[in-house]
Amino acid sequence: MHKGRLEAFSDGVIAIIITIMVLELRVPADMDGHHSDEIAALRPLLPVFLSYTLSYVYLGIYWNNHHHMLHATRHISGGVLWANLHLLFWLSLVPFTTAWMGDHAWAPQPTATYGVVLLMAAIAYWILVQTIRKAEGADSLLAQAVGRDGKGKISPLLYVVAIGAAFVHPAISYALYVTVALIWIVPDRRIERVLSDGRAAGATGHPGRP
Amino acid sequence: MHKGRLEAFSDGVIAIIITIMVLELRVPADMDGHHSDEIAALRPLLPVFLSYTLSYVYLGIYWNNHHHMLHATRHISGGVLWANLHLLFWLSLVPFTTAWMGDHAWAPQPTATYGVVLLMAAIAYWILVQTIRKAEGADSLLAQAVGRDGKGKISPLLYVVAIGAAFVHPAISYALYVTVALIWIVPDRRIERVLSDGRAAGATGHPGRP
Amino acid sequence: MHKGRLEAFSDGVIAIIITIMVLELRVPADMDGHHSDEIAALRPLLPVFLSYTLSYVYLGIYWNNHHHMLHATRHISGGVLWANLHLLFWLSLVPFTTAWMGDHAWAPQPTATYGVVLLMAAIAYWILVQTIRKAEGADSLLAQAVGRDGKGKISPLLYVVAIGAAFVHPAISYALYVTVALIWIVPDRRIERVLSDGRAAGATGHPGRP
Amino acid sequence: MHKGRLEAFSDGVIAIIITIMVLELRVPADMDGHHSDEIAALRPLLPVFLSYTLSYVYLGIYWNNHHHMLHATRHISGGVLWANLHLLFWLSLVPFTTAWMGDHAWAPQPTATYGVVLLMAAIAYWILVQTIRKAEGADSLLAQAVGRDGKGKISPLLYVVAIGAAFVHPAISYALYVTVALIWIVPDRRIERVLSDGRAAGATGHPGRP
């Protein structure tokens, strides 16, 4: 019961966040307020579309992993409810940073800000995992599943590098954001093995976060 | 459990996509920013309203069939979760193409773009069906239901024709988009029989997609 | 299962419709684009707020009665799914007519248009009830509950009068819209008895629509 | 069944309200309509961000406590459905007052208006609790849990003070709004004991409202 409502609420918020981002996709108006009917006019939308796609994938990974983590969870404490709301808070800022980065491709500051929100979301997810582990006990299914979480340790590191690199060249940051997303999607056993030291969880079945 | 949350999330996203489209319905302002209070002022909204209605019907068909397909599904794999997110991604672009086509009735490029997104959604649905079939096994209820899917094969073909025809005359494309929607709604046994070679699934009970 | 997802989807759409209407509540900007920080500046928002409140109540009644009707429903056919989508279509237009009427208090045409959408929603609800009754059978719980539906018969009539009256004086229409809402909310046994000829269903427990 | 749908609908509305508020977070455009790509340009957004955060926390508290209260509820009457819709109505106005207060930091009237909506929501929550208690009976779990509700009595008082204080100095109001939120979040046993006279309910497990 408790768990069901937590899942339903999180699903609702993530579903709305994902769909709200699309509202940024608007055909640009010219100086007289007219919208072009030519596909060429959509060209300035390309970075907006690409940043939407990247954020969509990130939110998809979060939804997937949140889903798996709660599947392995039995006890929902008051702390878990707040840790979950904290995670959703940072995710709710993704449409803002996505829109800003999309409007200013190749600009260092929006690119870095995008990474900061991803980093905060990753930290919030880590806090959520710890809170659930505490409620579940050390021997729980979840504690074993997240055991030695190499993948989970490398992403925050990559975000920090990407945030700094934005001021050198935003392209480095974009490459890193895409890399982190790929690490979490691609179910490549070898990558998994290197990162998580022998444990092959299967990307979508991993209860961690990007 | 797994399945329930997948359904709930998909319902949420589709419900939001449908309702976000209505935000395009706004009484046009004149040059001073004033909105008219006369029904005549709504005339420019007619194509917006019609394209909203068309997209609403398409999303309704997707929701209906998604619903039926998952009803016949027992196993949800990681791949199914991602195939479903992929479908929702293309559906989430429908409000954008609907708004653009609605703002530019009789313009070839927005009309063709509308068809491209429908085509991509159809392909995404096909991938989802294949992913579920693989998870379910060849003898499953689902595999039998989608068996020889004539209806499912003809719609992508009609989309491709509609996309090309938009550059001849958009009216042909509109007619084709409406035709595909009707094929999926109207529970006409004869149409069904012609298209699907003897199998009468009943339009709303069909686990396919437009 | 079938029923649960129908309810969840309808809840989602109605929840979004209700909340989208609030987006109309914006502090008006002056000619330089500045928003006032004085409560007096909110005065032009009063009709917007009142029309929001009225529509909120209407959507609340629909949600309540939809809820009760489906509670008494056991069989969901393909026709029921489409009849439900049809109802949601008209409800989804309520934010548009609410915004237009709110922006133009005392204007006949927006006031009449508001009534037209209410009337269409009432007709759509009636179709939904009939479709469910057909699926359920004449002896069903639902068939008995909606039996002689006096309340359900008088509201469309009042809408039609309100639509016409808008061109005489919008105030008459407003009074009628409020009256219909009150008829459905106020659990006055006497009003109920007069309207529904002896059957006292209790307002919120009534499976009809305004 | 009844209860499940009430919860799902409330979750949906609260999830949308929370996410709609983020739409206010937009990089300010300069006079030519261009959006800056510098973090310095986000400075005017700081009060918007802070008021969003405050409202997010309030809605989180409401969701948490609503959740706990319904967990202890067995009977849902027609009155409970309407009392719940009434609560959601006031919560739905939070994005409006949040945006207005965020746009005008240190302005007395938006600050006071923010408090008025919080006060109305608190009153609506109190009505909902009373309606549920009536439906549940005096000996119910819920009646015992909300027993001597010191925390619940002090918040409306603090709102009233904050509303008045906004005209002296808005900073006092901000401090009070934050204080009320903290009272409800921080699970400090001593604060709890002082306020609720010996009963330590645990902040998140409290079925009251801020």
Kindly give, in sequence order, each residue whose CB lies less than 8 Å from that of residue A189, ignoring residues fewer than 6 positions away: A200
Among B36-45, C26-35, C47-56, the least confident range: C26-35
Task: Express each pLDDT in C178-190 by its tens digit.
Answer: 999 998 886 544 4
Instruction: Tell me how far apart the alpha carbons of residues C109 and C104 are, in angstroms, rounded to a whole number.
Output: 9
Instruction: Tell me how far apart the alpha carbons of residues B16 and B13 are, in angstroms, rounded to a whole number.
Output: 5
Q: At what angle do helices A78-92 and D45-71 cross, to 10 degrees?
A: 150
Task: Express each pLDDT in B165-196 by its tens digit.
Answer: 999 999 999 999 999 999 888 654 444 445 55
Interface test with D, best of A82, A87, A114 (most D CBs within 10 A): A82
Note the pLDDT of residue B201. Answer: 40
Q: Which of C198, C204, C92, C101 is nearest to C149 (CA)?
A: C198
Is the CB of D63 inside 8 Å of chain A's CB atoms?
A: yes
Instruction: Tell me how far apart the alpha carbons of residues D79 and A61 are, in angstroms, rounded to a whole number.
Output: 41
D173 versus C79: which is more confidently predicted? Answer: D173
Note the pLDDT of residue D95. Answer: 93
Task: Express each pLDDT in D57-92 by its tens digit.
Answer: 999 999 988 887 887 788 788 888 899 999 999 999
Q: What are residue D29's phi and psi, to 5 degrees?
A: -90, 150
Measuring CA to CA, how many Å separate D126 from each of A41, D50, D72?
54, 27, 16
> Which residue in the block uniquely carries the two structure tokens 């997209």?
B55
Instruction: Tell me how far apart the alpha carbons of residues A126 and A131 are, in angstroms, rounded to a whole number.
Output: 9
D208 versus C40: which is more confidently predicted? Answer: C40
Note the pLDDT of residue B168. Answer: 96
pLDDT bracket for residue B25 (50, 70, 90): confident
Q: What is the DSSP letter of A29?
A: B
Note the pLDDT of residue A76. Answer: 81
Is the CB of D32 inside 8 Å of chain A's CB atoms?
A: no
Predicted interface score ipTM higher than 0.90 = no
Whether the pLDDT of residue B49 is over 70: the answer is yes
Task: Express each pLDDT in C24-51 by its tens digit.
Answer: 788 777 666 677 888 888 888 899 999 9
Interchain pair D187, A78: CB under 8 A: yes
Note the pLDDT of residue D32. Answer: 65
Tokens read off for B101: 């086509």
Note the pLDDT of residue A163. Answer: 96
Note the pLDDT of residue D87. Answer: 96
Whether the pLDDT of residue B11 is over 50: the answer is yes
B99 versus C140: which is more confidently predicted? Answer: B99
SS (H, E, C) B19-66: HHHHCCCCCCECCCCCECCCHHHHCCHHHHHHHHHHHHHHHHHHHHHH
The chains in contact with chain C, meaning 3 or more Cβ pairs closer than 8 Å, are B, D
Q: How far is B183 from chain A (nearest CA, A)?
A: 28
Contact residues on chain C for B66, CB-CB shorter than 8 A: none
State the average pLDDT over residues A20-33: 76
Contact residues on chain D for C12, CB-CB shorter than 8 A: 12
pLDDT bracket for residue A190 (50, 70, 90): very low
Q: Which residue of D has its CA nearest to A102?
A: D37
Kindly give, in sequence order, each residue whose CB lies less than 8 Å from that of residue D82, ignoring residues fewer than 6 positions away: C60, C64, C185, C204
Residue of C14, C37, C202 lying closest to D78 (CB–CB):
C202
Interchain pair C82, B185: CB under 8 A: yes
Whether the pLDDT of residue D193 is over 60: the answer is no
Instruction: Tell me how far apart the alpha carbons of residues C121 and C14 are, in angstroms, rounded to a whole number.
Output: 13
Interchain pair D71, A1: CB under 8 A: yes
The residues with which B173 forms a beta bridge, in sequence order, are: none
CB atoms within 10 A of CB C173: 25
- The alpha-helical segments, DSSP class H, found in chain D are 2-22, 45-71, 78-92, 94-103, 108-136, 141-146, 150-165, 170-185, 189-196
Q: What are residue A199's phi and psi, to 5 degrees?
A: -95, 120
Tell me which residues of chain C, numbers 97 to 116, contact chain B at a CB-CB cutoff of 8 Å. 99-100, 103-104, 107, 109-110, 113
C183 versus C120: which is more confidently predicted? Answer: C120
Instruction: Tell me how far apart the alpha carbons of residues B174 and D178 are, in angstroms, rounded to a whole number.
Output: 55
Chain centroid to CA B83: 16
The vertex-C20 CA angle with B5 and A39, nearest 5°, equals 85
Task: Express each pLDDT in B148-168 by its tens digit.
Answer: 566 677 889 999 999 999 999
Contact residues on chain D for A8, CB-CB shorter than 8 A: 7-8, 11
Residue A9 · residue D15 · CB < 8 Å: yes
Interface test with B, best of A3, A7, A14, A19 (most B CBs within 10 A): A19
Is the CB of C38 inside 8 Å of chain D's CB atoms?
A: yes
Note the pLDDT of residue A144. Answer: 60
Contact residues on chain A for B2, CB-CB shorter than 8 A: 67, 71
Measuring CA to CA, how many Å separate C117 from each of A37, C69, C113?
31, 21, 6
What is the identity of the amino acid at A102?
Answer: G
Note the pLDDT of residue A151. Answer: 66
pLDDT bracket for residue C65 (50, 70, 90): confident
State the average pLDDT over residues B62-81: 83
Tell me which residues of chain B, numbers 172 to 201, contact chain C at a CB-CB cutoff of 8 Å. 185, 187
Residue of C8, C42, C53 lying closest to D8 (CB–CB):
C8
Mean pLDDT, chain C, rounded, equals 82
pLDDT bracket for residue A139 (50, 70, 90): low
Instruction: Tell me how far apart the alpha carbons of residues A150 and A128 are, in angstroms, rounded to a whole number.
Output: 17
Instruction: Tell me how far apart the alpha carbons of residues D71 and D138 are, in angstroms, rounded to a whole number.
Output: 17
Note the pLDDT of residue D26. Answer: 81
Question: Coil, helix or strand for B174?
Answer: helix
Residue of D63, D202, D203 lying closest to A9 (CB–CB):
D63
pTM, 2 dp: 0.87
Contact residues on chain C for B53, CB-CB shorter than 8 A: 89
Task: Express each pLDDT in D132-145 by its tens digit.
Answer: 888 877 666 666 55
Give the count of Cβ contacts less than 8 A between chain C and D.
Answer: 78
Q: Which residue of C has its CA nearest to B206?
A: C78
Q: How far is D131 from chain A (nearest CA, A)?
A: 22
SS (H, E, C) chain C: CHHHHHHHHHHHHHHHHHHHHHCCCCCCECCCCCECCCHHHHCCHHHHHHHHHHHHHHHHHHHHHHHHHHHCCCCCCHHHHHHHHHHHHHHHCHHHHHHHHHHCCCCHHHHHHHHHHHHHHHHHHHHHHHHHHHHHCCCCHHHHHHCCCHHHHHHHHHHHHHHHHCCCCHHHHHHHHHHHHHHHHCCCHHHHHHHHCCCCCCHHHCCCCC
Note the pLDDT of residue A72. Answer: 75
State the average pLDDT over residues C134-158: 71
pLDDT bracket for residue A150 (50, 70, 90): low
Note the pLDDT of residue D78. Answer: 80
Kindly give, in sequence order, each residue whose CB lies less than 8 Å from that of residue B118, ignoring residues fewer than 6 positions away: B58, B94, B159, B177, B180, B210
Residue of D12, D81, D103 lying closest to C15 (CB–CB):
D12
pLDDT bracket for residue B204 (50, 70, 90): very low
Chain centroid to CA D118: 6
Whether the pLDDT of residue C201 is over 60: the answer is no
CB atoms within 10 A of CB D35: 15
Kindly give, in sequence order, each residue whose CB lies less than 8 Å from that of residue C171, ignoring residues fewer than 6 positions away: C106
Interface test with A, best of B84, B93, B106, B109 (most A CBs within 10 A): B109
D135 versus B87: which is more confidently predicted? Answer: B87
C110 versus D36: which is more confidently predicted? Answer: C110
pLDDT bracket for residue A145 (50, 70, 90): low
A28-42, A180-194, B6-20 — which one is most confidently predicted on average? Answer: B6-20
Residue A127 · residue A83 · CB < 8 Å: yes
Whether the pLDDT of residue C68 is over 90: the answer is no
